[in-house]
Amino acid sequence: MVAERDPALRQLTGSVLRQAGYDVRECSNALQLKAELYSSPVLATENALLVLSADIAAQCASELRMLERARAATPRHPPAYVFVCEFGALKQFTPPGVSEHEVAAVLEKPFDVDELERVALRCLARKAPGRAQEWKP
């Protein structure tokens, strides 16, 4: 799942994730993300990865908490989150609606697509709950 307002960045991110082996759904705003979280098979997907623009994610905090609670009740791995924040906003960033241990990375615009690909491949390869965090609050 990719939620990003900038169409070029959204398409580039989706392309990187597809090349890494993910099935990708794209959203351009909070309403689309909310609809996807309620209607898509995110709950049934093993090793789900959500790459979310920080501003869109902040508008969907309650839905992200709902997703996390629902996933906690299943034996599947919880989704991993990659948040993308604006340049200069990294120090003030707090993950909205999700546990910090589910945050695989926080990237600051502009980010290196190779870094995103490394994070995506690492998340795709995880076999057991828990992993080394790349981001610390």
**74-89: average pLDDT:** 77
- Cα 59 to Cα 111: distance, rounded to the nearest angstrom: 22
At the top level of CATH, the class of 2-125 is alpha beta
Dig out the tokens for 25 from the structure: 């759904």
Single pTM value for the model:
0.77
Residue 4: pLDDT above 50? yes
pLDDT confidence of residue 127: 45
Residue 98: pLDDT above 50? yes
**2-10: average pLDDT:** 94
Looking at every residue in the chain, the average pLDDT score rounds to: 79
Asked if 70 and 43 touch (Cβ cutoff 8 Å), the reply is yes
Kindly state the percentage of the chain with pLDDT values over 90. Answer: 22
What radius of gyration do the chain's Cα atoms show? 13
Question: Over the range 17-29, which residues count as b (16 or more CB within 10 Å of their CB) and which as e?
Answer: beebebebbbbbe
**Going along 9-137, which residue ranges are E strands?**
26-27, 49-53, 80-85, 103-108
Amino acid at the residue 41:
P
Asked if 51 and 13 touch (Cβ cutoff 8 Å), the reply is yes
pLDDT confidence of residue 137: 37
- Cα 87 to Cα 89: distance, rounded to the nearest angstrom: 6
pLDDT confidence of residue 134: 46
Length of the chain: 137
Domain ranges of the chain: 2-125
Dig out the tokens for 124 from the structure: 């795709």
Residue 96: pLDDT above 80? no
Residue 128: pLDDT above 60? no
- Cα 1 to Cα 43: distance, rounded to the nearest angstrom: 12
